[in-house]
Amino acid sequence: MKYSVQLKVYEGPLDLLYDLITKHKIDIKDISIIEITKQYLAYLDMLEEFDLEIASEFITMASKLLQIKSRYLLYKQRDDENEEDPRLELMEKLVEYKKFKNATEDLKNNVTYIEDVFYRKKEEVVIDEKLDLETISIEAIVKILPHIMKVDKEELEEIKDDKLNKIVKTRIISVEEKMHYVRDIIKEKEDIKFTNLISNYEKDEIIATFLSVLELIKTNEVIVVQDLFFDDILIKRNMES
């Protein structure tokens, strides 16, 4: 089948690979490295203008694909069960990218644009009587809580303590707060791997931390280093700032 693509701006080489696989409805875990390499190189040939800095990332990926393709051809010929499939590293990166891609789409779909929304003026509520909290017991709260939450008492009892604590403690993660956190880390250690920075974080904290690093790069407070294309990102304090 002849390959054709409408040229678009891709966020990076993984974005291009993910798009090629998605368009052809290929399972990431069943990727044809030979076909994908051919399509990837075809896309690069079709580009008329190419920013050198961006191009280097795409060309690096093309080289990586050619290397994987060569290793894969040898792997198929040998048919050695003990030898690792050379496609695995790429598959893992694409699966990880797919998670971030889906998370990004979720964020876009849930953004509320308040500029075009008008609200009725909040009505002032006047309470004539003071509520005497001393007369309210824990037992009374336990009895009324199922009615407030509109769940059965049995369902309420099934909620584990850690889950309830998580609900109670849920808050908006501030990018500014994460910027202070990263600053404190690199003042103490001078550098840290991004994966170590976000270990044991929930999705919203990972996104906030990533955005905070981008802001710190913009303000020249940190620099980031990546030795190889698939290596972890090292965040370092900018000694010149």
Q: What is the CATH number of the domain that holds 219?
A: 1.10.10.580
SS3 228: coil
Contacts of residue 198, defined as CB under 8 A and 6 or more positions apart, other chains included, come to 205, 206, 209, 210
Q: Which residue segment(s) compose the domain that 165 sits in?
A: 133-169
Distance between CA atoms of residues 84 and 71, nearest Å: 10
**114 within domain boundaries:** no
Number of folded domains that form the chain:
3
Instruction: Clarify whether residues 22 and 99 are in a common domain.
Output: yes
Asked if residues 1 and 40 have their Cβ atoms less than 8 Å apart, the reply is no
pLDDT confidence of residue 98: 73
pLDDT confidence of residue 64: 73
pLDDT digits (tens, 9 = 90+) for 152-174: 555 545 544 555 455 445 556 78
pLDDT confidence of residue 202: 77
Name the pLDDT band for 7 (thresholds 50, 70, 90). very low
Instruction: Clarify whether residues 103 and 156 are in a common domain.
Output: no
Distance between CA atoms of residues 44 and 118, nearest Å: 47
Name the pLDDT band for 189 (thresholds 50, 70, 90). confident
* Beta carbons within 10 angstroms of residue 150's beta carbon: 7
Residue ending a domain, among 65, 94, 109, is 109
pLDDT digits (tens, 9 = 90+) for 92-148: 777 776 777 777 777 666 655 444 555 555 556 554 455 454 555 556 555 555 554
The residue among 202 and 120 whose pLDDT is bigger is 202
pLDDT confidence of residue 58: 63
Instruction: Clarify whether residues 55 and 93 are in a common domain.
Output: yes
φ, ψ for residue 54 (rounded to 5)?
-70, -40
Instruction: Clarify whether residues 190 and 153 are in a common domain.
Output: no
pLDDT at 73 exceeding the cut of 60: yes
Tell me the CA distances in angstroms from 40 to 45, 60, 100, 143, 198, one per residue in order.
Answer: 9, 12, 21, 63, 32
pLDDT digits (tens, 9 = 90+) for 8-56: 445 566 666 666 666 655 555 556 666 666 776 777 676 655 555 555 6
pLDDT confidence of residue 92: 75
Please report the DSSP string for 85-105 in residue order: PTTHHHHHHHHHHHHHHHHHH
Instruction: Clarify whether residues 150 and 85 are in a common domain.
Output: no
Share of the chain above pLDDT 70, in %: 41
Mean pLDDT of 77-86: 69
